[in-house]
């Protein structure tokens, strides 16, 4: 195609010049950048709140684990005491049966 066959629209009314087009594009990019900065700030705030929530939940989890360990130790002690008392009761029952059997004879 010959250069004189290409239609030059630069002098048409309402057609932006190259400079106007570049300025408009730059303006659109600036708006996009500002929007991305707002989104980034919101994401940082969300992350900060999630980190705080995680720290709080981790502390509660550790507290509950300690409580459970103490409860388990207490339960183990109580179980040992119950087993000991059960053994004494069984010995007592055996002695009673032996005494009753001895009285009957």
Question: What tens digit of pLDDT does each residue of 84-98 get?
Answer: 999 999 999 999 999
Instruction: Decide if 9 is inside a domain.
Output: no
Q: How far, CA to CA in Å, does 49 sit from each of 38, 42, 43?
A: 17, 11, 10
In whole angstroms, how far apart are CA 104 and each of 50, 96, 98, 101?
Answer: 78, 12, 10, 5
Could you tell me the two tokens for 94? 């055996």
**What pLDDT, on the 0 to 100 scale, is given for residue 104?**
85
CB 16 within 8 A of CB 24: yes
The answer to whether residue 100 scores a pLDDT higher than 70 is: yes
For 46-74, the pLDDT digits (tens) are 999 999 999 999 999 999 999 999 999 99
pLDDT value of residue 9: 64
Q: Tell me if 88 is assigned to some domain.
A: yes
pTM across the whole model = 0.56
* Number of domains the chain is built from: 1
């Amino acid at each position: 195609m010959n250069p004189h066959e290409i239609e030059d629209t630069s002098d048409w009314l309402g057609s932006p010049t190259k400079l106007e087009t570049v300025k408009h594009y730059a303006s659109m990019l600036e708006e996009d950048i500002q929007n991305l900065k707002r989104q980034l700030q919101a994401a940082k705030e969300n992350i900060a709140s999630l980190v705080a929530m995680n720290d709080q939940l981790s502390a509660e989890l550790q507290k509950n684990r300690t409580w459970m360990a103490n409860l388990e130790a207490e339960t183990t002690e109580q179980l040992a005491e119950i087993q000991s008392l059960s053994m004494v009761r069984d010995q007592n029952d055996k002695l009673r049966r032996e005494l009753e059997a001895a009285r009957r004879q």
